[in-house]
Chains A and B, each alone.
Chain A
Amino acid sequence: MAEAMQPMFDAPIPGMSLTHELGARPWQNPPQYNTIEEALDYYIPRLQSDEVSEQLLDVMEMGIPVTVIANTMQLAGVMEGKHTIDVGMLLLPVLVELIMLIGDSAKIDYNSGLEKDKRVRSSLVDNAIERVSETPDDDKLSEEKSGTVIKEMKSAAEERVGGLMSRSA
Protein backbone atom coordinates (compact mmCIF):
# COMPACT_ATOMS: atom_id res chain seq x y z
CA MET A 1 0.00 0.00 0.00
CA ALA A 2 2.82 2.35 0.95
CA GLU A 3 4.52 1.60 -2.35
CA ALA A 4 1.37 2.42 -4.28
CA MET A 5 1.16 5.83 -2.59
CA GLN A 6 4.65 6.79 -3.64
CA PRO A 7 5.08 8.69 -6.90
CA MET A 8 6.63 6.76 -9.75
CA PHE A 9 9.85 8.59 -10.51
CA ASP A 10 10.98 5.99 -13.01
CA ALA A 11 8.24 7.00 -15.47
CA PRO A 12 9.25 9.04 -18.54
CA ILE A 13 9.06 12.77 -18.01
CA PRO A 14 6.92 14.89 -20.36
CA GLY A 15 8.77 15.65 -23.56
CA MET A 16 11.19 12.77 -23.09
CA SER A 17 10.08 11.29 -26.40
CA LEU A 18 11.36 14.43 -28.14
CA THR A 19 14.90 14.17 -26.77
CA HIS A 20 16.08 12.06 -29.69
CA GLU A 21 16.29 13.10 -33.29
CA LEU A 22 13.35 12.26 -35.49
CA GLY A 23 13.91 8.83 -36.97
CA ALA A 24 16.26 7.67 -34.25
CA ARG A 25 13.66 5.29 -32.85
CA PRO A 26 12.64 2.12 -34.71
CA TRP A 27 8.94 3.02 -34.72
CA GLN A 28 9.73 6.36 -36.37
CA ASN A 29 11.11 4.60 -39.43
CA PRO A 30 9.21 2.73 -42.14
CA PRO A 31 8.12 -0.67 -40.81
CA GLN A 32 9.83 -3.88 -41.83
CA TYR A 33 6.53 -5.65 -42.55
CA ASN A 34 3.75 -3.70 -44.20
CA THR A 35 0.89 -6.17 -44.39
CA ILE A 36 -0.81 -8.66 -42.07
CA GLU A 37 0.56 -11.54 -44.12
CA GLU A 38 4.13 -10.34 -43.81
CA ALA A 39 3.73 -9.75 -40.09
CA LEU A 40 2.16 -13.20 -39.62
CA ASP A 41 5.08 -14.71 -41.52
CA TYR A 42 7.24 -13.14 -38.85
CA TYR A 43 5.15 -14.26 -35.86
CA ILE A 44 4.01 -17.77 -36.78
CA PRO A 45 7.48 -19.38 -37.11
CA ARG A 46 8.49 -17.72 -33.85
CA LEU A 47 5.43 -19.06 -32.04
CA GLN A 48 5.97 -22.52 -33.48
CA SER A 49 9.61 -22.75 -32.45
CA ASP A 50 10.25 -25.06 -29.51
CA GLU A 51 11.93 -22.45 -27.37
CA VAL A 52 9.21 -19.82 -27.67
CA SER A 53 6.30 -22.27 -27.47
CA GLU A 54 7.67 -23.77 -24.24
CA GLN A 55 8.01 -20.33 -22.69
CA LEU A 56 4.57 -19.41 -23.97
CA LEU A 57 3.00 -22.49 -22.41
CA ASP A 58 4.77 -21.78 -19.12
CA VAL A 59 3.40 -18.25 -19.08
CA MET A 60 -0.10 -19.48 -19.96
CA GLU A 61 0.02 -22.08 -17.20
CA MET A 62 0.97 -19.34 -14.77
CA GLY A 63 -2.43 -17.80 -15.45
CA ILE A 64 -1.37 -14.82 -17.54
CA PRO A 65 -4.29 -14.01 -19.90
CA VAL A 66 -3.79 -14.77 -23.58
CA THR A 67 -4.91 -11.24 -24.45
CA VAL A 68 -2.09 -9.75 -22.40
CA ILE A 69 0.47 -12.03 -24.06
CA ALA A 70 -0.78 -11.14 -27.54
CA ASN A 71 -0.79 -7.43 -26.77
CA THR A 72 2.74 -7.59 -25.38
CA MET A 73 3.94 -9.41 -28.47
CA GLN A 74 2.45 -6.95 -30.92
CA LEU A 75 3.62 -3.97 -28.85
CA ALA A 76 7.15 -5.36 -28.90
CA GLY A 77 6.85 -5.72 -32.67
CA VAL A 78 5.83 -2.06 -32.96
CA MET A 79 8.67 -0.93 -30.70
CA GLU A 80 11.18 -2.92 -32.72
CA GLY A 81 9.90 -1.34 -35.91
CA LYS A 82 8.69 -4.64 -37.31
CA HIS A 83 5.21 -3.35 -38.18
CA THR A 84 2.99 -0.36 -37.58
CA ILE A 85 0.52 -0.15 -34.73
CA ASP A 86 -2.31 -0.37 -37.30
CA VAL A 87 -1.09 -3.76 -38.48
CA GLY A 88 -0.58 -4.67 -34.83
CA MET A 89 -4.22 -3.94 -34.02
CA LEU A 90 -5.36 -6.08 -36.94
CA LEU A 91 -2.99 -8.82 -35.83
CA LEU A 92 -4.24 -8.91 -32.25
CA PRO A 93 -7.26 -11.22 -32.74
CA VAL A 94 -5.24 -13.50 -35.01
CA LEU A 95 -2.48 -13.74 -32.41
CA VAL A 96 -5.03 -14.46 -29.67
CA GLU A 97 -6.52 -17.32 -31.70
CA LEU A 98 -3.06 -18.63 -32.56
CA ILE A 99 -1.94 -18.65 -28.93
CA MET A 100 -5.18 -20.34 -27.89
CA LEU A 101 -4.61 -22.95 -30.61
CA ILE A 102 -1.15 -23.64 -29.19
CA GLY A 103 -2.67 -23.92 -25.71
CA ASP A 104 -5.41 -26.26 -26.93
CA SER A 105 -2.96 -28.46 -28.80
CA ALA A 106 -0.80 -28.71 -25.65
CA LYS A 107 -4.00 -29.45 -23.67
CA ILE A 108 -3.36 -26.95 -20.92
CA ASP A 109 -5.79 -24.83 -18.96
CA TYR A 110 -5.37 -21.17 -19.77
CA ASN A 111 -7.05 -17.89 -19.15
CA SER A 112 -8.14 -16.38 -22.45
CA GLY A 113 -8.84 -12.97 -20.91
CA LEU A 114 -11.92 -12.64 -23.11
CA GLU A 115 -14.49 -13.68 -20.54
CA LYS A 116 -16.28 -10.90 -18.76
CA ASP A 117 -15.34 -10.50 -15.13
CA LYS A 118 -18.28 -11.99 -13.22
CA ARG A 119 -16.72 -11.62 -9.80
CA VAL A 120 -18.49 -9.15 -7.55
CA ARG A 121 -16.10 -6.72 -5.98
CA SER A 122 -16.19 -6.55 -2.19
CA SER A 123 -16.45 -2.77 -2.30
CA LEU A 124 -19.67 -3.07 -4.33
CA VAL A 125 -21.10 -5.52 -1.79
CA ASP A 126 -20.21 -3.17 1.08
CA ASN A 127 -21.82 -0.29 -0.75
CA ALA A 128 -25.01 -2.27 -1.39
CA ILE A 129 -25.20 -3.39 2.26
CA GLU A 130 -24.73 0.18 3.40
CA ARG A 131 -27.53 1.38 1.15
CA VAL A 132 -29.89 -1.39 2.26
CA SER A 133 -29.18 -0.64 5.92
CA GLU A 134 -29.83 3.06 5.32
CA THR A 135 -33.16 2.61 3.54
CA PRO A 136 -35.37 1.45 6.52
CA ASP A 137 -34.16 4.36 8.64
CA ASP A 138 -35.20 6.77 5.94
CA ASP A 139 -38.58 5.07 5.74
CA LYS A 140 -39.01 5.32 9.50
CA LEU A 141 -38.12 8.99 9.39
CA SER A 142 -40.57 9.64 6.59
CA GLU A 143 -43.27 7.66 8.44
CA GLU A 144 -42.66 9.65 11.59
CA LYS A 145 -42.77 12.88 9.65
CA SER A 146 -45.96 11.91 7.86
CA GLY A 147 -47.47 10.78 11.19
CA THR A 148 -46.87 14.16 12.81
CA VAL A 149 -48.23 15.95 9.76
CA ILE A 150 -51.43 13.85 9.91
CA LYS A 151 -51.85 14.58 13.64
CA GLU A 152 -51.42 18.31 13.04
CA MET A 153 -53.99 18.18 10.26
CA LYS A 154 -56.50 16.29 12.47
CA SER A 155 -56.09 18.74 15.34
CA ALA A 156 -56.53 21.67 12.97
CA ALA A 157 -59.73 20.10 11.64
CA GLU A 158 -61.11 19.53 15.16
CA GLU A 159 -60.39 23.12 16.11
CA ARG A 160 -62.46 24.32 13.19
CA VAL A 161 -66.04 24.52 14.38
CA GLY A 162 -68.14 25.54 11.44
CA GLY A 163 -68.06 24.98 7.77
CA LEU A 164 -66.05 26.74 5.22
CA MET A 165 -68.47 29.68 4.93
CA SER A 166 -68.95 30.09 8.68
CA ARG A 167 -67.77 33.24 10.39
CA SER A 168 -64.39 32.92 12.04
CA ALA A 169 -64.21 33.70 15.73
Chain B
Amino acid sequence: MPLNDPTPIAHQNMMSYMEKMSKETKAPIQDKGGLLGPKKPMQQKNNTFDINEPRLRAASYIEAIKAKREELKNG
Protein backbone atom coordinates (compact mmCIF):
# COMPACT_ATOMS: atom_id res chain seq x y z
CA MET B 1 0.00 0.00 0.00
CA PRO B 2 1.52 3.34 -0.98
CA LEU B 3 2.12 5.91 1.69
CA ASN B 4 0.11 8.92 0.57
CA ASP B 5 -0.02 10.87 3.79
CA PRO B 6 2.99 10.77 6.13
CA THR B 7 1.35 13.18 8.58
CA PRO B 8 -0.08 10.68 11.11
CA ILE B 9 3.27 8.88 11.32
CA ALA B 10 5.19 12.15 11.66
CA HIS B 11 2.79 13.31 14.37
CA GLN B 12 2.98 10.01 16.23
CA ASN B 13 6.78 10.03 16.07
CA MET B 14 6.90 13.57 17.41
CA MET B 15 4.51 12.70 20.26
CA SER B 16 6.57 9.68 21.28
CA TYR B 17 9.75 11.77 21.12
CA MET B 18 8.16 14.42 23.34
CA GLU B 19 7.03 11.76 25.80
CA LYS B 20 10.52 10.30 25.90
CA MET B 21 12.04 13.72 26.44
CA SER B 22 9.66 14.53 29.29
CA LYS B 23 10.49 11.19 30.97
CA GLU B 24 14.21 11.86 30.67
CA THR B 25 13.92 15.31 32.18
CA LYS B 26 11.72 14.06 35.04
CA ALA B 27 14.07 11.21 35.99
CA PRO B 28 15.93 11.93 39.24
CA ILE B 29 19.67 12.42 39.03
CA GLN B 30 21.38 9.49 40.70
CA ASP B 31 24.39 10.43 42.74
CA LYS B 32 26.99 7.81 42.01
CA GLY B 33 30.44 7.60 43.45
CA GLY B 34 32.04 9.19 46.48
CA LEU B 35 32.90 12.73 47.34
CA LEU B 36 35.57 12.99 44.71
CA GLY B 37 33.57 11.14 42.06
CA PRO B 38 32.40 13.00 39.02
CA LYS B 39 28.91 14.46 39.23
CA LYS B 40 28.12 13.20 35.77
CA PRO B 41 29.52 10.20 33.93
CA MET B 42 31.67 11.22 31.02
CA GLN B 43 29.50 9.56 28.42
CA GLN B 44 26.17 10.70 29.81
CA LYS B 45 23.94 12.39 27.32
CA ASN B 46 23.59 16.10 27.53
CA ASN B 47 19.92 16.68 28.32
CA THR B 48 20.08 20.43 28.07
CA PHE B 49 18.07 22.20 25.42
CA ASP B 50 20.02 22.00 22.20
CA ILE B 51 19.06 24.92 20.02
CA ASN B 52 20.68 23.29 17.02
CA GLU B 53 18.36 20.31 16.99
CA PRO B 54 15.33 21.15 14.83
CA ARG B 55 13.20 18.31 16.20
CA LEU B 56 13.56 19.66 19.72
CA ARG B 57 12.59 23.13 18.60
CA ALA B 58 9.54 21.75 16.77
CA ALA B 59 8.62 19.83 19.92
CA SER B 60 8.78 23.03 21.98
CA TYR B 61 6.40 24.76 19.55
CA ILE B 62 4.00 21.82 19.70
CA GLU B 63 4.08 21.89 23.49
CA ALA B 64 3.19 25.58 23.45
CA ILE B 65 0.31 25.04 21.02
CA LYS B 66 -0.93 22.05 23.01
CA ALA B 67 -0.94 24.10 26.19
CA LYS B 68 -3.00 26.73 24.39
CA ARG B 69 -5.45 24.06 23.22
CA GLU B 70 -5.77 22.69 26.73
CA GLU B 71 -6.50 26.21 27.97
CA LEU B 72 -9.26 26.53 25.38
CA LYS B 73 -10.76 23.15 26.28
CA ASN B 74 -10.73 23.81 30.00
CA GLY B 75 -12.10 27.31 29.51
Q: Which residues of A contact B (CB under 8 A)?
A: 35-37, 40, 67-68, 70-71, 87, 89-94, 96-98, 100-101, 104-105, 113-114
Cβ of B22 to closest chain A Cβ, rounded Å? 16
Apart from A96-B11, A113-B8, 7 more pairs, CB < 8 Å: A36-B58, A70-B7, A71-B6, A87-B54, A92-B11, A93-B11, A94-B58
Instruction: Name A's interface SS.
Output: helix
Tally of B interface residues using CB under 8 Å: 21
Question: Across the interface, which residues of A come within 8 angstroms of B10, CB to CB?
Answer: 89, 92-93
Question: Across the interface, which residues of A come within 8 angstroms of B11, CB to CB?
Answer: 67, 92-93, 96, 114
Top-10 shortest CB links A-B: A67-B7, A93-B14, A97-B65, A92-B10, A93-B11, A71-B7, A104-B72, A90-B58, A92-B7, A94-B61
Question: Across the interface, which residues of B come within 8 angstroms of A36, CB to CB?
Answer: 54, 57-58, 61
Question: Across the interface, which residues of B come within 8 angstroms of A89, CB to CB?
Answer: 6, 10
**A98 adjacent to B7 (CB under 8 Å):** no
A114-B8 contact in complex given A94-B65, A104-B72, C-beta closer than 8 Å: yes
Most buried by A among B8, B55, B62: B8
Q: Which residues of B contact A (CB under 8 A)?
A: 5-8, 10-12, 14-15, 54-55, 57-58, 61-62, 65-66, 68-69, 72-73
Taken together as a complex, chains A and B put the C-alpha atoms of A104 and B72 apart, in Å, by 7
A97-B7 contact in complex given A37-B57, A90-B54, C-beta closer than 8 Å: no
Cβ of B6 to closest chain A Cβ, rounded Å? 7
Most buried by A among B10, B12, B57, B72: B10
Question: Across the interface, which residues of A come within 8 angstroms of B5, CB to CB?
Answer: 67-68, 71, 113
Question: Across the interface, which residues of A come within 8 angstroms of B14, CB to CB?
Answer: 93
Question: Across the interface, which residues of A come within 8 angstroms of B8, CB to CB?
Answer: 67, 113-114
